[in-house]
Amino acid sequence: MYKIMIIDDNHISVDGICHNIDWYALNAQVTCKAYDGQQALDYLEKNAVDLIISDIEMPQLNGLSLAQKALEINSSIKIILISAFDKFEYAKQAIRLGAFDYIEKPLDYSYLAEIIKNALDMLDKEQKNLEILKNSRPVMVDNFFHQLLQTSSDEARYALSHYADYLQLELNYDYFQAIVVRIQNASEIKESYGIEEYHIRLMSLSDTLKERFRKYFPLVHTLSTFDEIVLLIGSNPSNRKSFYNVSYDLLTELIQLYKNSFFELNIGIGNLVKDLWALSASYSNALKSLEYRFFFPQKNIFTISDTTDTNYSVELYDVSGNEELIRLLCKNDISGIDNWILSFSEDLIKNYKSKQFIFLRIYQLLGHLIKFLYDMGINIDDMEKDIVKTYQRLDSFSTSTEIFQWLSGLCHTISDKITRSNQSHQEHVCTETIDYIRQHYQENTLCLNEIADNVNISPAHLSALFKKHRQQNISDVISDIRIEAACNLLKNTNLSLKEISFKVGYSNQYYFSSCFKKKTGKTPSSYR
């Protein structure tokens, strides 16, 4: 039952509110009657109250000041302020201070009862939402770490530190590390056993990770995606080496445990970081290390340091230039692609006189491109077969020119695949857009933002894409479909013009008539 406090220096006013409101129907009871602001404040400091009904003009402490102090004590408390003075400034001040509502004397008790009900309904919703929020803590913790891994250290510290405090996360450790456990055969398992069985076993794998690591690390948190588990750990070891060795040994044991089992595991180990907010760097490092599986299929655990030979140049693994090639591929800039490959080949030949180095660098590049195509959802089965076949006959290339010509042809194929995929996707978006409009044209609230949200792209992008592919504005399509529907109703029904305008999505009959004439050259009446 909700607890109500009534405050007014006029005893008659207090009694009037007490006796003229059906508190039982509101599931509430008056637990405190006060006759000045200070008396009310003294009570609030020791007792819980859900709703305050207070006069503004009172001795010692007025209603506005009381409201401010009451909200400092309990920010969720609802406050209704009353005054005999017909001054709008009071209403503005009340709302600005956080009061729920404002009412003037003389009181209309039925209206006051309605306001009280609304306030209690709002309080009920907030309490339910608070309970939901408390129950969703595990989800919020997951979201916290997901965001942490996707955000640079400075930005993460600024944006997420308050959430760490709110969620009461213990994160004061000397070292942190991100580890990516990838299910290499995820697709095959899902196809053979079904998605439900796959995820049940993935959850079991996550539980195993947590059980084993919690014996040695106070911070252990896992994040699961469809095809991998991200393990985040932290502790206060005696030194960096002991931290790393323990985590590496545990992962080695995990590989052995699952060696002949359901999952084929590959693990990327991130570098150690001393700052929680730098975990994104460790995560990126773990992901990058996994890229080298392409070159070392016999291995299961990867780090940047042990996937490269000590004689290899660090520059060999600099992938910054790959992003430029991807940009050219996406633009289908054939001339730009050929120039990039020419520059790439000249640089490799200039700096590396070993076929081994050159081949490895090319396959590192291809691994980057393949991952990009996978992420785009483009089928590359045919291309992978070509790459594997080429890998098996590397020695058949007698000159560097031959292999770079092969690489150039492969990039042309990739660019063509990306172009066709984009065109197909864009056409699909346009079709989805028209289908959605046809399904919802009757709604007068239909707009670009709603349609864009349905097809999962930004309004500006959708507008530009649609105009490019269909040579129409989306607003014109909406109008065309509505007028088409109106024509049908005019010819085949006896509905009034007002009814027809509403049925086809116009809230104003006269605006409908104007649009109809603009599209058809006739008024609705003459068309009928």
CB atoms within 10 A of CB 157: 16
**pLDDT classification of 222: cutoffs 50, 70, 90:** very high
Taking a C-beta distance cutoff of 8 angstroms, is the pair 372, 326 a contact?
Answer: yes
Measure the CA–CA gap between 77 and 47, rounded to whole angstroms: 12
Please tell me the predicted confidence (pLDDT) of residue 387: 73
Span 417-433, average pLDDT: 82
- Residue 114's Cα: distance from chain center in Å? 39
- Could you tell me where the DSSP H helices lie in 167-278? 186-193, 195-213, 240-257
Q: Which of 399, 400, 313 is nearest to 351 (CA)?
A: 313
Please tell me the predicted confidence (pLDDT) of residue 219: 93
344 and 407 together in one domain: yes
Measure the CA–CA gap between 449 and 463, rounded to whole angstroms: 10
69 and 149 together in one domain: no
**Is the predicted pLDDT of residue 91 greater than 70, yes or no?**
no
Please tell me the predicted confidence (pLDDT) of residue 313: 43
143 and 240 together in one domain: yes
Span 265-273, average pLDDT: 92
Instruction: List the CATH number of the domain containing 105.
Output: 3.40.50.2300
263 and 191 together in one domain: yes
- Look over the chain and give the mean of its residue pLDDT values, rounded to a whole number: 84
Measure the CA–CA gap between 80 and 84, rounded to whole angstroms: 14
**Is the predicted pLDDT of residue 319 greater than 60, yes or no?**
no
Measure the CA–CA gap between 32 and 259, rounded to whole angstroms: 70
Q: Does residue 31 sit within a domain? A: yes
**pLDDT tens sequence across 375-406:** 777 777 777 777 777 766 666 666 777 778 88
149 and 257 together in one domain: yes
27 and 104 together in one domain: yes
Q: Does residue 434 sit within a domain? A: no
89 and 154 together in one domain: no
Q: Mapping DSSP to helix (H, G, I), strand (E, B) and coil, where does residue 312 land?
A: coil
Q: Which of 419, 408, 323 is nearest to 378 (CA)?
A: 419
CB atoms within 10 A of CB 294: 16
Helix axis angle, 195-213 to 240-257, nearest 10°: 140
How far is CA 370 from each of CA 163, 328, 376, 489, rounded to the nearest angstrom? Answer: 37, 15, 10, 54
**Is the predicted pLDDT of residue 147 greater than 70, yes or no?**
yes
107 and 13 together in one domain: yes
Q: Does residue 269 sit within a domain? A: yes
**pLDDT tens sequence across 253-262:** 999 998 878 8
**Is the predicted pLDDT of residue 308 greater than 70, yes or no?**
no
User: Averaging pLDDT over each range in 301-305, 428-432, 485-489, which range is the top one?
Assistant: 485-489
How far is CA 329 from each of CA 20, 52, 212, 251, 398, rounded to the nearest angstrom? Answer: 76, 66, 44, 38, 27
Instruction: List the CATH number of the domain containing 465.
Output: 1.10.10.60
**Is the predicted pLDDT of residue 100 greater than 90, yes or no?**
no
Taking a C-beta distance cutoff of 8 angstroms, is the pair 74, 47 a contact?
Answer: no
Domain boundary among 423, 458, 487: 423
Span 480-496, average pLDDT: 90
131 and 143 together in one domain: no
Please tell me the predicted confidence (pLDDT) of residue 354: 60
Measure the CA–CA gap between 205 and 226, rounded to whole angstroms: 13
174 and 277 together in one domain: yes
Q: Does residue 309 sit within a domain? A: no
Amino acid at 413: T
Span 481-505, average pLDDT: 90
Q: What's the token pair of residue 219?
A: 């911070």
**pLDDT classification of 307: cutoffs 50, 70, 90:** very low
**Is the predicted pLDDT of residue 315 greater than 70, yes or no?**
no
190 and 250 together in one domain: yes
Number of domains in the chain: 4
Please tell me the predicted confidence (pLDDT) of residue 355: 63
**Is the predicted pLDDT of residue 169 greater than 60, yes or no?**
yes
Residue 177 phi, psi dihedral angles, 5° rounding: -150, 145
Taking a C-beta distance cutoff of 8 angstroms, is the pair 470, 409 a contact?
Answer: no
How far is CA 351 from each of CA 330, 348, 358, 402, rounded to the nearest angstrom? Answer: 28, 5, 10, 18
Please tell me the predicted confidence (pLDDT) of residue 85: 59
Span 102-108, average pLDDT: 83
Q: Which residues pair with 55 in a beta bridge?
A: 82
Instruction: List the CATH number of the domain containing 281.
Output: 3.30.70.270
Please tell me the predicted confidence (pLDDT) of residue 135: 72
* Antiparallel, parallel or unpaired: β 51-55 and 2-7: parallel
CB atoms within 10 A of CB 505: 21
Alpha-carbon torsion (307, 313, 315, 316), positive or negative: negative
**Is the predicted pLDDT of residue 309 greater than 60, yes or no?**
no
Domain boundary among 93, 112, 135: 135
Measure the CA–CA gap between 302 and 487, rounded to whole angstroms: 67
Span 129-144, average pLDDT: 79
Please give the radius of gyration of the chain, using alpha carbons only, rounded to the nearest integer: 34
* Antiparallel, parallel or unpaired: β 51-55 and 78-83: parallel
Percent of the chain exceeding pLDDT 90 equals 27
Candidate from 109-113, 177-181, 242-246, 289-293 with smallest mean pLDDT: 289-293
Q: Does residue 105 sit within a domain? A: yes
Q: Does residue 146 sit within a domain? A: yes
354 and 400 together in one domain: yes
Domain boundary among 302, 328, 354: 302
**pLDDT classification of 407: cutoffs 50, 70, 90:** confident
Candidate from 54-68, 147-161, 474-488 with smallest mean pLDDT: 147-161
**Is the predicted pLDDT of residue 146 greater than 80, yes or no?**
yes
**Is the predicted pLDDT of residue 522 greater than 80, yes or no?**
yes
Q: Does residue 42 sit within a domain? A: yes
Q: Give me the domain span that covers residue 73.
A: 2-135
Q: Mapping DSSP to helix (H, G, I), strand (E, B) and coil, where does residue 270 land?
A: coil
pTM (2 d.p.): 0.44
